Amino acid sequence: MSCSNEIIKRNNVTILGSGEKTLLLAHGFGCDQNMWRFMLPALTDHYRVILFDYVGSGKSDLSHFDQSRYSSLEGYAQDVLEVCDALALQDVIFVGHSVSSMIGLIASLQTPKFFSQLIMICPSPCFLNFKPDYMGGFEKSDLVELLDLMDKNYLGWANYLAPLVMGANNSEKLIGELSGSFCSTDPVIAKTFANATFFSDCRHLLKKAKHPVLLFQSSQDSLASVAIGNYMQQQLPDAQLQIVEAEGHCLHMTHPNIINQMLREYIG
């Protein structure tokens, strides 16, 4: 099997639709490519859409999981770059949810030719508070406690985090799906990705961005506040910010039509 085919299989790559422009959709922590399904019907009519699972997530090949590689966001960015290389992509519009926004930024700085625009859904460059200059939303001790809960009571951790992420007033079915997605991930792999997600600090990379960025922030998001969206817009060289009147950290699932419309207008 060629190296390209190995990567396509390893990351469970799916290619849908057709169009002059290509979108690469990257899921967030504890999720997989299936989380994009609400947006797909409107996208595949207009664009070539590429979906994948990070190694350790969804239907990726778990035998390729390497704890040292995936203990930092650079390891996940390597997955993105290897998928782009395997498919010989250029000028892709990268659409990342949550932590994938920063993974995409890292990838785009390493190999700019693969990308043309970055679209970030509920991004945060850093979840930690650094008073008084930056409020990421969480004290380090809170996040350490949250990750300790993964070791002590994995099911309890998933059931606590899912409504926080999806938004407690959103569909119980979606909250249940997210909790189930957390639970179906191998706990060691999930904790490795969680550590990389919640303890990374990508603020210094924002000013270095080489591509235009569209930011989608939820008006009520327990993980990434509107203030974080404003901060990112100020730091990025070329960024537009769209605040969506919504609750939760998963706008691509709870408000797919709004995201699709604004995304298509932005891409032009």
Q: Which residues are catalytic?
A: 98, 221, 249
**H or E stretch at 241:** strand 239-247
Instruction: Tell me the angle at which helices 73-86 and 187-199 cross, rounded to the nearest 10 degrees.
Output: 100
Q: In whole angstroms, what is the distance from residue 137 CA to residue 242 CA?
A: 20
For the record, the structure tokens of 50 come out as: 């590429």
Burial of residue 199 (number of CB atoms within 10 Å: 0-12, 13-18, 19+): middle
Task: Residue 206: name the closest of 121, 132, 108, 137 by CA.
Answer: 108
Q: In whole angstroms, what is the distance from residue 185 CA to residue 182 CA?
A: 6
**H or E stretch at 228:** helix 226-235
